[in-house]
Every structure is written in structure tokens, then in C-alpha cells.
A and B are shown apart, each in its own frame.
Chain A
């Protein structure tokens, strides 16, 4: 609880603003709660903000366009709050540069866990789960359908992915040719629903290789770099 990270909550519902602010402060964060985009920019100008919790539906400029603007000028991680909770909205939120999303209704504890994990991830590997507005990503004959969260093979067969596999693949696809350490991968690969059941990163990678038809004995797509981690050895094309 010795954290003093500064979290800003942007939500037009006064009660939610107050409750989230109280809860974050109770858990050792500095919290600022504002009602709309204008107030958000003002608060950002006043001082350092470590993380922004941004409601999708806002009066005036909505959360998505705020997030896009925010992303063009800073790296501050964003957790998007969405009331719709539909897959497309989630993905759109991520494409706009949000680091994570949380569907309403959520509990304060859930939000706290996300805040912690996003901050940890941000510090381990400063990147956002963003794919430059891509709706599909091509690599080595495969196409990742970002909206539907599944792979499509060269001959058009859909290969569904588990949540963890999808997350891991997106990390690799965001950093092609870059060696990623187990710690860096781990920060992304946490089970979304329940933190305690963490699997070793090696097992997740071998699962993903199996999905991709990548031979575990002599993998050519996701290669092991001894003592350092893993690297995606394939060119990646983003498509709208």
C-alpha cells in the first residue's frame, strides 16, 4: 500500500466518481475524479497522472476520441469503462489505445486489480494493446481477426483462441522481431478473471505454438532465445 500513484477517474456519474475516488484513496492511491474531457485536460495540465480510468460514454467528447487524442500526446495508460460490454466495443477501446477495459457493472475490487496490473505491465513493457487501428493482423500465412479474437488460416479455416492465447499473441504481434522476457510476457499474460491461477509463461507459449502449428521441437514462428525469452520471427502486416 505504499504506492502513491495518481489515478484520474473520468466519469459523468457523480456518485460513481465519488465512490471510485474514495475506494482508490482508501487503497493508497492518490485520486482525482472529473466529470468530462475538459476537466480531464485541465487536471492533466496541473500535474503528473499515472493512470486514467476513462468512461466510454461521456457528455460532449466521448471516451474513444478523448483516448485517441490522449494517446497522441502521452503514454499514460488508460483503462476504459464501457457500459456496453460487447466484444466490438472492447476491441474498439483497445484500438483507440486503451490499455485495458472494464465492462459495467464492475466492482471496485475488479477495478483495483486492473489498475495494479496495468501499472505493473506499463512499467515492465511500455506499450499499449494497440494495433494501429488494425482489425486484422497478418503474419506467416495466418490472419488474426482482432474483433472476433480468432485466427484464420491461409485456407480460410477459423482457429479460435483462448483469452490468454489471444493476449499473448497480441503482445508478440506488437513486437515482431523483438526478444520479450518472461517477466515482460508475464505482465500481460495474467489470467483476466483470477490472478492466483497463473500458469508458467513457457506453457502458454507452447500452447500458442500448438495453435499455430509451430513445431515445439524446432519452432520457426515463436523462437526461444536461451536465457532471455521469446521472439516472434515473422513479418507482421496490420490491416484495417
Chain B
């Protein structure tokens, strides 16, 4: 579960929980206050009544009898003794005690206004109170007082009302109640959040996958009104993007396509030239134009390619490439092996590797393809012995028609779209293509492809 307040779920749970705990505490406070006041009144009244009854009884009895009677009454929660000296029960602090004064007046009412009673708080270890729970109980808990009443003959009767043993463990019950509520809130907020944010997740996934395929089917316009609106806007955006891209592709494709006829004418005308030096210059320019046109078309076609994924014998693919280059008089070396067939689009993958090998041969005369099979992927390193690319410009080599150095690209025609096409193919396979300068010199194009066992 994500409790991080960063997630919508975390935030919602936090808000719901805070609200719940606050309202619970408030309710508890109100309930407890009322209950305690009620308890106090009932308990205080009863205690005062009991004390006055005992006092009246003792008054009517002779000395020895009193002890017997006191022994009978001396039971929790009320301790009755006859031998205690006069205690200084009044203190300044207790004068202000609202509870105490109420109790005192109740007692006076029961015993008669002129009774010389002394009432004070019973001092107990605080844990007895603590056990009973919260602050309000300390003030309004069942009365716990020490009362001294002188009888007519001067005997001092001392009453000690003690706190009753706690009835059940209120704290535990409280905790249990809270726990149940807490669990309920968490489950409910989980459901609520999933319900509310589910469509948002769909939206986020869709946005992510848009990068891989601009023509993916539109997302369902479901969920809360706000999310529906977002989904609608998203679908509209995708449509506009897709239309705009298609439009541009059409223009670019048509233009590249139509350039082929004039280039053909120029080539044919060039072939008629008698001056070899001039013809060669024309040839080079035309070859460059032709490369741009064919690569542009290839690039445009790439986006709409729908070749199915098949199991491919990667070694056969590399060896057949090697044979093709050999027929053209170019050297390609292969190192390493792959034992299992690779899930890939064979024609696209071949084009990808061909583009990398073409670059390697153009810059470094020959290419080495280093294959390594790992548990979950295959890594192909296409190595050349050329000059490499300045570190700062290495990522820009993927840009269309990037030229590393003016002097070199005049001879080689630059990278064209080859690397961009190769990277697109790698990514469409769920892989990646990166470039790295080799410490021993030359460039390494590193192609990783997923290869699950």
C-alpha cells in the first residue's frame, strides 16, 4: 500500500483518518463529560447519604457498640475509622475545587447545616486515576474524598471513600472501537480511491504508451466527470497529433518520392558527361541526395510498419548480413554466439543492424559485431575502428542528418537517418540503442534487445 502522502490514495486516507479521529475524540469528550457528571451526581449523592446515615447511627450508639458497627461498615469503597486524628483537610487549592464544594454542600444538607464536617480530597497514587483513562475523568470521576465528622461526644469519625475497582477495561474497549473504525476507513478509502483514481491510472498509462504508438486506440471516456473530461481531451489531442503527423508524413513522403524522378534524370544526364572528374563530383552529390530521399522514405515507412514478431535465428541473420557485405568486398567480423531464437521483427531488425554496420564500415572501413547473450537480453555491439564521435556530440548523432565534423562529413555524407531509424526499431522492440566511444579507439553502437528465457 502506498501511504506516501504524495499519492492521491495516501492523501485521501490521511484526510479521512484525521477527520475520523478528530470527530471520535470530540464525541468521546462530550459523551464522557456528560456520563461523568451524571455518575458524579448519583455517586456523590449516594455517598453523602451513606455518610450521613452512618454518622446518625453512630450518634445513637454507645462507645463500644460504635466500634462493632464501624467494623461492619468499614468495607470498600468506604473506609470508616474512629481513631484517626484531626487532619488538616483544607488547603487553598482545594477551596477552589468545584467538586469538593458541591460534595460538601450535599453532605451538609444531609447532616444538617450546623454539622462541623471537614472534607478534603483523598490523596492517592495517580496511577489509579490514570488507569481510568482520560483527563475529564480525573475531574469528574466518582468522588474520592476524605471526610471527618465529629460526633456529639467529640469522637472523630473518618470516612475515606475510595475509588471503585475499574469496571471492565474501558481503554481496551476504546482502542478496539478505534481499530475497527480505522480498518473500515482504510478499506473504504481504498475502494473509494480506486474507484475515483482508476480512470486516472488508465489515462497515465495511455499517455505513456502514446510515445510508442501514436495510433493506439482511444481510451474509454469513463469514470467521474472530471476524469471523463480529461479522457475526452486526451483522445482529442491524440487525434489531432495523429492527424498532424500523418499530414506531415504524407507531404514528406510525396516530396521524397517525387524527387526520385528528377534525381534519376540528373543521374542519366551525368552518365553522358565526358569529363570524368566533373562526373564524379555530380555523382557524389546525387548519391547524397539519393541517400536522403531513400532514408527519408524508409524513416516514414518505419512508423507505420506492422511486421509481426517472430522467433528469429539471430546468428543466421548476422551471418547472412556478413555474406552480403562480403559480396560487396566489405569485411564484417562476428564474435560471440546466441543459442536461443530471439523474438523480433526479422526485416526491421535486419535493417537496424544493417544501418549500424553501414555506419561502422563508412567510418572505420570494417565492422565487428560482438554478440552476448544474457539471462533476459541480448547485447549486440557493432564496433568500428574509425575516429569515434566527440563525447559532447554523441547523443546528437541520432538526430536526422547530423554531421559530426564538417571536414569528415564531406567525405562520408554524415549519419543521415540511419541511426535514428535503428534506434526507433530498437525501441519498438522494447530495447535500446546507445553510442559509446571505445577506449581503444573507434565507436561502439550498443544494441540491447529483450530476450526473456
Binding site for B on A (CB under 8 A): 13, 15-16, 19-20, 22-23, 26, 83-87, 104-109, 148-150, 152-153, 156-165, 191-194, 196-197, 199, 207, 211
- List chain B residues, Cβ under 8 A from A107: 267-268, 270-271, 283
Contact with B310, one of A158, A197, A199, A207 (Cβ below 8 angstroms): A158
Instruction: Looking at the assembled complex, report how far the CB atom of B101 sits from the nearest CB atom of chain A, in whole angstroms.
Output: 97
Instruction: Looking at the assembled complex, report how far the CB atom of B68 sits from the nearest CB atom of chain A, in whole angstroms.
Output: 108
Contact with A165, one of B260, B263, B267, B323 (Cβ below 8 angstroms): B323
Question: Do the beta carbons of A162 and B320 come within 8 Å of each other?
Answer: yes
Which residue from chain B places its CB closest to the CB of A22 in the assembled complex? Answer: B272
Contact with A105, one of B267, B272, B323, B329 (Cβ below 8 angstroms): B267
Contact with A84, one of B257, B321, B322 (Cβ below 8 angstroms): B257
Which residue from chain B places its CB closest to the CB of A81 in the assembled complex? Answer: B264
DSSP majority for the B interface? helix
Rounded to whole angstroms, the CA-CA distance of A207 and B184 in the bound complex is 72
State whether the Cβ of B301 lies closer than 8 Å to any Cβ in chain A: yes
* CB pairs A–B below 8 angstroms (29 shown): A13-B265, A15-B265, A16-B261, A16-B264, A19-B269, A19-B271, A20-B268, A23-B268, A84-B257, A85-B294, A87-B347, A104-B260, A108-B267, A149-B347, A150-B346, A150-B347, A152-B310, A156-B310, A158-B310, A158-B313, A160-B350, A161-B316, A162-B323, A164-B324, A193-B328, A196-B329, A197-B326, A197-B329, A199-B326
Rounded to whole angstroms, the CA-CA distance of A153 and B271 in the bound complex is 45
Which residue from chain A places its CB closest to the CB of B271 in the assembled complex? Answer: A108
Question: Do the beta carbons of A164 and B269 come within 8 Å of each other?
Answer: no
Contact with A157, one of B311, B319, B329 (Cβ below 8 angstroms): B311
State whether the Cβ of B327 lies closer than 8 Å to any Cβ in chain A: yes
Binding site for A on B (CB under 8 A): 257, 260-261, 263-272, 283, 286, 290, 293-294, 297, 301, 307, 310-313, 316-317, 319-324, 326-329, 341, 346-347, 350
Rounded to whole angstroms, the CA-CA distance of A82 and B432 in the bound complex is 34
The answer to whether residues A156 and B311 also contact, given A197-B328, A207-B323 and a CB cut-off of 8 A, is: yes
Rounded to whole angstroms, the CA-CA distance of A16 and B264 in the bound complex is 8
- List chain A residues, Cβ under 8 A from B346: 148, 150, 158, 160
The answer to whether residues A162 and B321 also contact, given A16-B264, A19-B268, A83-B261 and a CB cut-off of 8 A, is: yes
The answer to whether residues A160 and B310 also contact, given A23-B272, A83-B261 and a CB cut-off of 8 A, is: no
Rounded to whole angstroms, the CA-CA distance of A182 and B272 in the bound complex is 36
Rounded to whole angstroms, the CA-CA distance of A157 and B312 in the bound complex is 5
Question: Do the beta carbons of B324 and A163 come within 8 Å of each other?
Answer: yes
